[in-house]
Structure 1
């Protein structure tokens, strides 16, 4: 058993202090908290960051410029057409996008064997884009990611390119993706105990 991180327990203690602070400040997606608690209760793992997946309406100067982008609406759950239309109504400049992003978790593992066990579990549960993100003496990090994603351009500089009927369809598709990845998160929470063995 090759131990990558000599001070794993110290790192975990620091990460847990940071998580407690983020929880107090309401900066953690509520529906992922029970999964984080389960992972962090395991001796050989701890979470460093997470997102439970989201639907958003975003305004950006040009695609990919997230630094200068503005959220017009962001939800870590299914959304209504009215919520999305309300967010779209705030659009004034730049490109307008409807986006779906799958959950992402970064989990530090004590050993390479631990990392591989977590990676195999995640991939087996449908988190197909999962990988070992970092391997060094400082950190051994597993990234848990799923495949659900949508990038739909809706308009530019206040002009809407699509109809309300089209928006209703993409909202339905986005919500279906949310249901799918929330189901995967639920299964991961149920199976994470297997890592104790």
Structure 2
């Protein structure tokens, strides 16, 4: 397939894009060592990444990301006070607290390399990892975990749950975040030792 022929050019372009994003501070700091490990391997390169996050979001209807507005977004554990401060900004539409697990997109040189990375990611705890796309131009692996939380909190400027409930949701969100951050460390170690 042609994607093996285009691999070197694609890797060079991806690494340049990453370098620019790093200079601009657009890359989650805690995922940088993992990106460096992957990109140091001759048969792989990263194309995009998120280390996972907790967020408070306002949207007209659930799932409407185009018209959604971030009220608070953290790639680390968050305090109840930070979440309450973000909730205070809510004016219209639906109010949600969301947890999203890490996601990385990685280019692979060959199908065998892609399968090897998927298997390594799954064994590291990233159970939703898969080969995202195969075309004549590229071969992309998606590394994803299972952690996710979608909690409806209010609507049209009104919070519909108690502060005690929000406190419990924040505890659960932080617990999920700790879990997937540990998986990121395990993946980094496994990539360093196995690829």
How far residue 136 of structure 1 moved from its aligned partner, in angstroms, is 1.2
1:27 corresponds in structure 2 to: 26
1:191 corresponds in structure 2 to: 190
1:66 corresponds in structure 2 to: 65
- Deviation string for 1:141-196 (max 9, x for gaps)? 00000000000000000111100000000000000000000000000011102443
Q: Which runs of 5+ in 2 are unaligned?
A: none
Contact 2:2 2:137 in 1 (8 A): no
How far residue 3 of structure 1 moved from its aligned partner, in angstroms, is 6.7
C-alpha distance in structure 2 between counterparts of 1:121 and 1:176, whole Å: 24
Moved more, 186-195 or 158-167: 186-195
Q: 1:13 and 1:41, CA in 2 relative to 1: closer, same or farther beyond 3 A?
A: same
State the secondary structure of the residue aligned to 1:6: helix
State the secondary structure of the residue aligned to 1:142: strand
How far residue 137 of structure 1 moved from its aligned partner, in angstroms, is 1.4
Moved over 6 A (4+): none
1:130 corresponds in structure 2 to: 129
C-alpha distance in structure 1 between counterparts of 2:23 and 2:112, whole Å: 33
State the secondary structure of the residue aligned to 2:126: coil
How far residue 4 of structure 1 moved from its aligned partner, in angstroms, is 3.5
Q: Give the 5 Å matches for 1:115-154.
A: 115-154=114-153
State the secondary structure of the residue aligned to 1:181: helix
Q: Give the 5 Å matches for 1:89-104.
A: 89-104=88-103
Contact 2:6 2:138 in 1 (8 A): no
What is the Cα-based RMSD across aligned positions, in Å? Answer: 1.0
Q: Does 1:75 align with 2:74?
A: yes
TM-score (norm 1): 0.97
How far residue 25 of structure 1 moved from its aligned partner, in angstroms, is 0.5
- Deviation string for 1:64-104 (max 9, x for gaps)? 11111000000001000000000000101000000000000
Contact 1:117 1:195 in 2 (8 A): no
C-alpha distance in structure 1 between counterparts of 2:42 and 2:146, whole Å: 29
TM-score (norm 2): 0.98
- Deviation string for 1:13-36 (max 9, x for gaps)? 011000000000010000000000
